[in-house]
Chains A and B, each alone.
Chain A
Amino acid sequence: MNEPTLDVRPEVSAFVDLVRSRLRDLDDEVRDELTDGLEADLGDLVAERGVEALPDPDAYAEELRVSAGLPIRERRGLRRPRGSLRKPGQTWVQTIDAWLDGGRDRWFAWASAGPRAGVWEIAQAMRPAWWVLRAWLLVAAADQLTGPWELIDVVPQFGVPLLGPVLLLAATVASVQIGRGAWWPGTTGAGSSHSRWLLLAVNAAAIAVLPLISQAADEVGYYSPSFDAGYGCCRGPERQPGLVHDGRTVRNVYAYDASGHPLQGVQLFDQNGDPLTVAPSEARGQEPGGWWVAYPWVNGSKELWNVFPLPTRQQPRPARSDLAWGEPDRPSIDTSPMAGTAQATLPGDGPASTPSSSAPSGPTDSEKPTPR
């Protein structure tokens, strides 16, 4: 086998990788046998005559193959001169594949040369991370496309219990298996070309949705219900985020002025001037048929969770949508729990200047304190 060893020049190992990739159609055993020890031999060649002595990997692989008496690979026209245009008898499938092969070769050559080689090696080592990420990206994008655009959850919800986690798991397994080369249609004939294009398209789509998703996912860890659920069991009251009253989470705050009128846009701070915020992850709740979700007031792009009451709206999923304010069912400040409350005065000031009759009636009206 070709275990990576110390002191293999990156150019050499990249070249051996290219040669091995040209022998993909062979059995693993045959290919390993054919390329075993190649690093050492090519290392000698490079040591003696420099990196320039490394020949064209296509031609090299074909020479290895032919002299070893193995069948010549027929697909993808690898023995055609690079960059050739479509030739008589060559199908468009072969033309496109040859073009893709050429692009890949140029990329490998560029990426594995000089100082870029180290970066390229790290990038290659991180391929599994990409397999997982692309599965998540596509499932998250599908989640968005099947409903109103909303903030992203770590586990997409799809508005149906279990569907999100199951789809995410299935997509991750499929993506990893494809990445490992374990699940992919045959390596010969036009089918493999089509599946290759499909994979390219899938990767391109995943990259295309990346900026959209990442913008919305900035707050993922903060907002995610699954994140909260995971810690809910062990979280003491003192660690509970946001406003808490008698050990219970405060989800919204309604302020009234001294005469008992409801107020909008009240900004709350504590004795140190720190904002008294509701935890964004708590400012929502499940109800039959969906969720009620609170949205923050803003200062420019900064979300203010200490300005009350928080506007809310009903929606099918718990995640907040960036576009909520542009939609017909935009969040609104819902009716206060009480239309009004009793008027309040400071001791010694006498009754408030506003007559009590002007205060809207509320459930506590009967307990209205009488002026001293």
Chain B
Amino acid sequence: MDSTQLLKGVLDLAVLAVLADEDGYGYDIVRRMRAGGLEDVGDASVYGTLRRLYAAGALTSYVVPSESGPHRKYYGITPAGRAELKRQRDDWRTFSEAVARLLDNTDTHDRTGGIR
């Protein structure tokens, strides 16, 4: 399934969720999201989202210099970010349960030859 469109709506939530436990840098966050099942997430989308959440005050960032390579930019979640995460998580649960219920109904109708 092409989950790109779906991802767009929940990218903020997913990024905040990944950062809720532990700080991370760009590609590390992408990796964690993919490991969590969001295979189709695009790295540029994640980086853009990180910048936007940072600008909105939901994230902090700090640079970790590297001796042998380019510096890494780490992100961590702020209290405002945690509040946002909670709000979006609640919204998501409500929304996804509603969608799930709708789908269950459709499923039932399908099996009984109702809605096509």
Contacts and interface: CB of A to CB of B under 8 A. Distances in A.
Contacts of A2: 70
Size class of B's contact patch?
20 to 34
A5 B70 contact: yes
Contacts of A8: 69-70
Contact of B47 (A6, A7, A43, A64): A64
B11 interface: yes
A34 interface: yes
A34 B48 contact: yes
A356 B59 CA distance: 109
A45 B51 CA distance: 19
Interface string A65-81: 11111000000000000
B73 A36 contact: yes
A230 B27 CA distance: 59
A61 B44 CA distance: 8
A41 B45 contact: no
What does DSSP make chain B's interface, helix, strand, loop or mixed? helix
Given A40-B26, A41-B25, A64 B44 contact: yes
Contact of A7 (B25, B52, B68, B73): B68
Size class of A's contact patch?
20 to 34
A67 B41 CA distance: 12
A103 to B, nearest CB: 24
A68 B27 contact: no
Given A8-B70, A36-B73, A60-B44, A41 B52 contact: no
Contacts of B48: 34, 63-69
B72 interface: yes
Interface in B25-76: 25-28, 30, 42-49, 51-52, 54-55, 63, 66, 68-73
B70 A33 contact: no
Contacts of B55: 33, 68-69
A136 B14 CA distance: 57
Contacts of B66: 5, 40
A63 B51 contact: no
Given A7-B68, A8-B69, A67-B49, A40 B25 contact: yes
Interface of A: 2, 5-8, 33-34, 36-45, 55, 60-61, 63-69
Nearest to A37: B73
A6 B63 CA distance: 16
B108 to A, nearest CB: 38
Contacts of A39: 69-70
Contacts of B72: 37, 40-41
23 contacts: A7-B69, A7-B70, A33-B55, A34-B51, A36-B73, A37-B63, A37-B72, A40-B73, A41-B25, A41-B27, A41-B43, A41-B72, A43-B69, A44-B28, A61-B44, A63-B44, A63-B45, A64-B44, A67-B45, A67-B49, A68-B48, A69-B48, A69-B55
Contact of A68 (B42, B52, B63, B69): B52
B52 A40 contact: no
Going nearest first, the 6 A-B pairs with the smallest beta carbon separation are A67-B48, A37-B73, A63-B44, A41-B26, A68-B48, A39-B70
A273 to B, nearest CB: 64
